């Protein structure tokens, strides 16, 4: 089956530092999505990417859809304590009739020390 | 606009029982997908519904089933519960079926099977 490898598994950083995480896939995706999940809540959509090479920002967050369509990365600049949480990448295959099936990475646990 | 609403938030059941979980999508969204989240397996796709029809199903046993109503609300049912069914069950909705229609998640139902 499809595999999404997300790294790193966890990060411990100081407030103000920049963060980078990435996902690689064994197969091609047509959509990459990045989510953040806080304890006791569902994943919240951060950024959606739909085209190979696309670079999209959302405030201090920037994500890119890899040229090969098999990878994506997320950068967080100038981290703050509320960035703490688990970040997930998710990929969606092309075509067919099912657009609700996403393959998720294992998640990156981010801890920010004030 | 209200987000995806899942009820109940918490459930405790015993082995062998059955359970029904409910999901109300974002107003205007017609596609609903269900995911299971566990520490060991991460986020796994269960099934997707659009226009009251199941469009895709993940690799789960037949004890897991679902349906969608004409108002797009969805329910999932798990029969003959097993200890391993303990998980956070997440519902996600999207406006339509399409590659540019991201999934928005609810806060989930935490199911504990004893």
Tens-binned pLDDT, residue by residue, of chain B (114 aa): 679 999 999 999 999 999 999 999 999 999 999 999 999 899 999 999 999 999 889 999 999 999 999 999 999 999 999 999 999 999 999 987 666 788 999 999 999 999
Chain A closest-CA separation from residue B105 CA (Å): 6
Question: pLDDT value at position B102?
Answer: 87
Question: pLDDT value at position A51?
Answer: 93
Mean per-residue pLDDT of chain A: 92
Chain-chain contact of B32 with A100 (C-beta, under 8 angstroms): yes
In the predicted model, what is the mean pLDDT of residues A37-59?
95
Residue B69 buriedness (CB in 10 A; 0-12 / 13-18 / 19+): exposed
In the predicted model, what is the mean pLDDT of residues A90-110?
83
Q: How far lies B106's CA from each of A5, A39, B94, in Å?
A: 25, 13, 12
Is the pLDDT reported for residue A1 higher than 60?
Answer: no
Residue A104, token pair as written in the block = 């998720």
CA distance B103 to A49: 13
Chain-chain contact of B107 with A41 (C-beta, under 8 angstroms): yes
Interface of A with B (CB under 8 A): 1, 30-31, 33, 35, 40-45, 48, 50, 88, 90, 92, 94, 96-107
Is the pLDDT reported for residue A99 higher than 90?
Answer: no
- Interface mutation target, options B42, B54, B58, B87, chain A, most CBs of A under 10 Å: B42
Is the pLDDT reported for residue A94 higher than 80?
Answer: no
């Amino acid at each position: 089956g499809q595999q999404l490898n997300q790294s790193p598994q966890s990060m411990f950083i100081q407030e103000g530092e920049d963060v980078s995480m990435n996902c690689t896939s064994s197969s091609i995706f047509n959509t990459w999505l990045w989510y953040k999940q806080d304890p006791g809540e569902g994943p919240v959509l951060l950024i959606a990417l739909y085209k190979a090479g696309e670079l999209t920002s959302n405030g201090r967050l920037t994500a890119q859809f890899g040229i090969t369509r098999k990878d994506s990365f997320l950068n967080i600049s100038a981290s703050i304590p509320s960035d703490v949480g688990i970040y997930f990448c998710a990929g969606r295959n092309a075509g067919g009739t099912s657009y609700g099936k996403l393959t998720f990475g294992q998640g990156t646990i981010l801890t920010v020390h004030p | 606009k209200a987000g995806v609403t899942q009820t109940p938030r918490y459930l405790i059941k015993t082995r062998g029982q059955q359970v029904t979980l409910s999901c109300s999508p974002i107003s205007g969204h017609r596609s609903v997908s269900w995911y299971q989240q566990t520490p060991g397996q991460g986020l796994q796709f269960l099934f997707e519904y659009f226009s009251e029809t199941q469009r895709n199903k993940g690799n789960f046993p037949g004890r897991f089933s679902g349906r969608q109503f004409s108002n797009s609300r969805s329910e999932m049912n798990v029969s003959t519960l097993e200890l391993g069914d303990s998980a956070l069950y997440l519902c996600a909705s999207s406006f339509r079926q399409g590659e540019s229609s991201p999934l928005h998640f609810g806060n989930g139902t935490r199911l504990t099977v004893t």
